[in-house]
Amino acid sequence: MSHLSQRRVLVTGAGGFIGSHLVEALVAEGAAVRAFVHYNSRNDWGNLEQLPAAVLEEVEVVAGEIQDPYSVDGAVAGCEVVFHLAALIGIPYSYLAPRSYVDTNVLGTLNVLEASLRRGVERVVHTSTSETYGTAQYTPIDERHPLQGQSPYSASKIGADKIAESYFRSMGLPVSVLRPFNTFGPRQSLRAVIPTIIAQALGSPEIRLGSLEPVRDFSYVADTAQAFIALAGSPEAVGQTLNSGTGKGITIGELARLILTITGSKAEIVREDARVRPELSEVFELVCDWGRLRELTGWRPTVDLHTGIEQTIAWMQGREPTARLHDYTV
């Protein structure tokens, strides 16, 4: 029996890419799931709309605002475990709207931690990002690697991580921080690099990208969801920040060529200046050392990059073609 079976759990950011997969995985674990989604006037639940009806019937969906402490407190009430994934993501947009990243990522996290403390939550798993490390000073990157705010996004996540750490150290709140490296898979938007390349490979004679040299470590989303679940079940991980990834790096150029091979596309790879990030902001190498997570939880990745890309392609081929293939989505 799963350690989360029959437990009352909250997932913030449940309408997002990783959040929706985590909700689905938690239902499979037998948890009683409350999904907190960003309120909007369309009553749109984001990626939760793509879950099978039988899964969604098992989920309590609550719409609210992570920046509003009252909204967050109501969502946390009655929950034993909180998975905090709600965040404003996307590095290029953080150049344009930095204040919104602080409001959402730092103050939103503070709201979740304070509500969890007040409500006596037994475990909080807070989501970090490998972007907090900045360009690697050594690889693979372990949890002792220095943090560097190379974008307003990464700076806001460093702030959120440190607020979470402070609630463990100062208030005794049982918090663990998961720091996933790049995650990909079905339901990810064209804002991210793998679906951007796939969409162009399937429907265009050109693959328009920014810098081709940066190295990334890509994890399939089902593996990342399982990392959250494993972390929540490890008493030894309380107060810890732990990486999840594969330990294997690939350049963006190599990634594009791999996707062209898998799709059979003859598209030309074109470097587009508008997509190139400021030099001091670009993170040039991220490769994960996930040994500590394995040591404390037994977690390990199970889906290799080639297989994960094939599954993502299959999902995208089942969707309506996009008319915005070459739009640069910040």
Spans of all domains in the chain: 8-184+219-244, 193-216+248-317
pLDDT score recorded for residue 225: 98
- Determine contact, residues 101/259, Cβ cutoff 8 Å: no
**Is the predicted pLDDT of residue 326 greater than 70, yes or no?**
no
Percent of the chain with pLDDT over 70: 95
pLDDT (tens digit per residue) in 267-280: 999 887 777 767 76
Whether residue 2 is predicted with pLDDT greater than 90 in this model: the reply is no
Q: What is the mean pLDDT of residues 316-330?
A: 65
Q: What are phi and psi of 225, to 5 degrees?
A: -60, -40
d(CA 7, CA 24): 15
In this prediction, residue 324 carries a pLDDT of 53
Q: For the chain, what is the mean pLDDT? A: 94
Residue 261 has pLDDT above 60, yes or no: yes
- Over residues 149-200, the pLDDT tens digits come to 999 999 999 999 999 999 999 999 999 999 999 999 999 999 899 999 999 9
Q: How confident is the model at residue 104 (pLDDT cuts 50, 70, 90)?
A: very high
Residues 36 and 97: their CA atoms lie apart, in Å, by 24
Please tell me the predicted confidence (pLDDT) of residue 318: 84
Can you give the pLDDT at residue 243? 98
Q: Which fold has domain 8-184+219-244?
A: Rossmann fold (3.40.50)
Angstrom distances, CA of residue 294 to CA of 25, 243, 244, 249, 290: 19, 10, 9, 19, 7
Between residues 17 and 208, the one the model is more confident about: 17
Fold match, 8-184+219-244 / 193-216+248-317: no
CATH topology of domain 193-216+248-317: UDP-galactose 4-epimerase; domain 1 (3.90.25)
The percent of residues above 90 in pLDDT, for the chain, comes to: 87
pLDDT tier at 322 (50, 70, 90 boundaries)? Answer: low
The pLDDT tens digits for 207-247 are 999 889 999 999 999 999 999 999 999 999 999 999 999 99
| Strand ranges inside 190-300, DSSP E | 206-209, 215-216, 219-220, 241-244, 250-251, 268-271
Rounded Cα distance between 30 and 128, Å, is: 25
Q: pLDDT: is 129 or 275 the higher one?
A: 129
* Residue 81 backbone phi and psi in degrees, to 5: -130, 135
The rounded radius of gyration (Å) of the Cα atoms in the chain is 19
Distance between CA atoms of residues 235 and 39, nearest Å: 34
pLDDT (0 to 100) of residue 323: 47
